[in-house]
Structure 1
Amino acid sequence: MTDSTPASTVPSPRDPVVVDVWSDIACPWCFIGKRKFEAAVERFEGDVTVEYHSFELSPDTPVDFEGDEIDFLSKHKGMPADQVQGMLDNVAGIAAEVGLAYDFDALKHTNTVKAHQLLHFAKARGRQLDMKERLLSAYFEEGRHVGRVQDLADLAADIGLDRDEVVAALESDAHLADVRDDQRQAQAYGISGVPFFVLEGKYGISGAQAPETFLGALQQVVAERVAAAAPAVGADR
């Protein structure tokens, strides 16, 4: 799986399947969905290119939220704390099934707009997929802060990006317009929740579906390409 590159106007059956993914760093199902999609790609007999796009689940969240994940969800969703704890335990269990070690006790809830800008910065340097993985792991498994510029610059340096360049780009909001463009496209597609996968700009898959669902969709794209490339029945020889 590689970072997304522009596809030809009429892709051949052998061309990579282009997948655009709308997700948020602060979305536990997005990391789970990423792992399930990756499992499908491993089984897919073909190439896939991926590009991640920005979606903020809670854009009004402060950078430094006072409280833990239970406090946030209790206030944000109006749920009692014990119900929230049960929900988090369930999600952590599902995450463990795909090899993820969620630590909701250590998680630092924050605003993710700067993290999304960092993903665009990384995309411009061909490292978006690595940056996405680093951010999700830092947030859900390591209890790292992903809302402050300096913390984000540290995470970017972990994958080899220039720390000073990252700080300059985030402090100047160099990629904020790119984030907003992604969000407008999500609205145009009617996306109201994430993760949301768009294959070839025309097939949408919502949620952290089973690998078989993603694999079937990838295979369908290729089958349609093969059918489109086949000579018409009764064509002149």
Structure 2
Amino acid sequence: MPTPDPRPVIQVDIVSDVVCPWCIVGFRQLDLALEQENVLAQLRWHPFELNPTMGPDGQNLREHIMEKYSSTAEQSQQARDRLTALGADLSFTFNFNDDSRIVNTFAAHQLLDWAETQGRQHPLKLALFKAYFTDQRDVSKVEVLLDAAQTAGLDPDAARAALESGTHADPVRQKQQFWTSRGITGVPAMVFGGKYLLTGAQGTETYAQVLQRCLAEAA
């Protein structure tokens, strides 16, 4: 029988979208903070769609960013360069190119909702981040989602059945509404210990400080 891990555990709820680069940056920063503070996290991922009305064909990512944020091509490239450098520092690879696309993520969130019932939500979330940002795959496509599910240790046939059933569509919508009704308008949004909210990728030191505060209050 394995020995229980003696490290303290803090619940961290992360509201996120799988096509949000700052969500994987923020998570990697959090992961470093957890290691630094010698703390375990009980992680729960919650759904948020950056572009809920995005069509099935998606849109060129650079065009989308320029339209949505009124940025120039130069500003878009600077943002990509910054993210690529940040990712490298955090051992995560961003592979942007001129053909990168933003896609609809509702099916991905349904699969994540199902994966939570299987105890494999976290590895699936990380597999989807890698599929989209590193491998430049379309995470709105069923076959891509099933490949990610298999990578995460899930049965791809069961994953397909979960998607085709549609039984996770309403729960995802309800969870999205829950968070938006509480003022969440952008991601990542992390709630520590059920009480401390941080929005955006805040950096390893900031996350470490919040973890320390949660530990102090639990002592």
Per the normalisation by structure 1, the TM-score is 0.84
- In the alignment, the residues of structure 1 paired with residue 125 and residue 157 of structure 2 have an alpha-carbon distance, to the nearest angstrom, of 19
- In the alignment, the residues of structure 2 paired with residue 44 and residue 175 of structure 1 have an alpha-carbon distance, to the nearest angstrom, of 36
210-219 or 173-182, larger mean C-alpha shift:
173-182
- Judged with a 3 Å threshold, the aligned counterparts in structure 2 of structure 1 residues 201 and 58 are, in CA distance, closer, same or farther, namely same
% identical equivalent positions: 37
- Deviation by residue 1:211-235 (Cα, 9 ceiling, x = unmatched): 1111111111121122xxxxxxxxx
**Structure 2 counterpart of 1:193, from 183, 186, 191:** 186
Q: Tell me which amino acid in the other structure corresponds to 1:203.
A: Y
1:32 offset after TM fit, Å? 0.5
Q: Tell me which amino acid in the other structure corresponds to 1:191.
A: I
Question: Hey, what does 2:75 align to over in structure 1?
Answer: 83
Give 3-state SS (helix, strand or coil) of 2:101's partner: coil
Question: Hey, what does 1:44 align to over in structure 2?
Answer: 37
**Structure 2 counterpart of 1:22, from 15, 18, 35:** 15
Question: Hey, what does 1:150 align to over in structure 2?
Answer: 143
Q: Tell me which amino acid in the other structure corresponds to 2:113.
A: H
1:42 offset after TM fit, Å? 0.8
**Structure 2 counterpart of 1:177, from 157, 170, 175:** 170
**Structure 2 counterpart of 1:120, from 109, 113, 118:** 113
Question: Hey, what does 2:202 align to over in structure 1?
Answer: 209
- In the alignment, the residues of structure 2 paired with residue 161 and residue 49 of structure 1 have an alpha-carbon distance, to the nearest angstrom, of 20
- In the alignment, the residues of structure 2 paired with residue 224 and residue 121 of structure 1 have an alpha-carbon distance, to the nearest angstrom, of 33
- In the alignment, the residues of structure 2 paired with residue 29 and residue 88 of structure 1 have an alpha-carbon distance, to the nearest angstrom, of 11
Q: Tell me which amino acid in the other structure corresponds to 1:75.
A: E
- In the alignment, the residues of structure 1 paired with residue 71 and residue 134 of structure 2 have an alpha-carbon distance, to the nearest angstrom, of 24
- In the alignment, the residues of structure 2 paired with residue 154 and residue 121 of structure 1 have an alpha-carbon distance, to the nearest angstrom, of 15
**Structure 2 counterpart of 1:141, from 124, 127, 134:** 134
Question: Hey, what does 2:58 align to over in structure 1?
Answer: 65
Q: Tell me which amino acid in the other structure corresponds to 1:175.
A: H
Contact 1:103 1:143 in 2 (8 A): yes
Question: Hey, what does 1:221 align to over in structure 2?
Answer: 214
Q: Tell me which amino acid in the other structure corresponds to 2:27.
A: K
Q: Tell me which amino acid in the other structure corresponds to 1:206.
A: T
The number of aligned residues is 212
Contact 1:107 1:140 in 2 (8 A): no
1:15 offset after TM fit, Å? 5.5
Contact 1:156 1:166 in 2 (8 A): yes
**Structure 1 counterpart of 2:96, from 90, 95, 104:** 104
- Deviation by residue 1:93-131 (Cα, 9 ceiling, x = unmatched): 222221221111163321011111111111110111100
Contact 2:120 2:153 in 1 (8 A): no
Query: Which stretches in structure 1 are left out of the alignment for 5+ residues?
Result: 1-13, 227-237
Query: Which stretches in structure 2 are left out of the alignment for 5+ residues?
Result: 1-6
1:83 offset after TM fit, Å? 2.4
Give 3-state SS (helix, strand or coil) of 1:189's partner: coil
Q: Tell me which amino acid in the other structure corresponds to 2:65.
A: L
Question: Hey, what does 1:56 align to over in structure 2?
Answer: 49
Per the normalisation by structure 2, the TM-score is 0.90
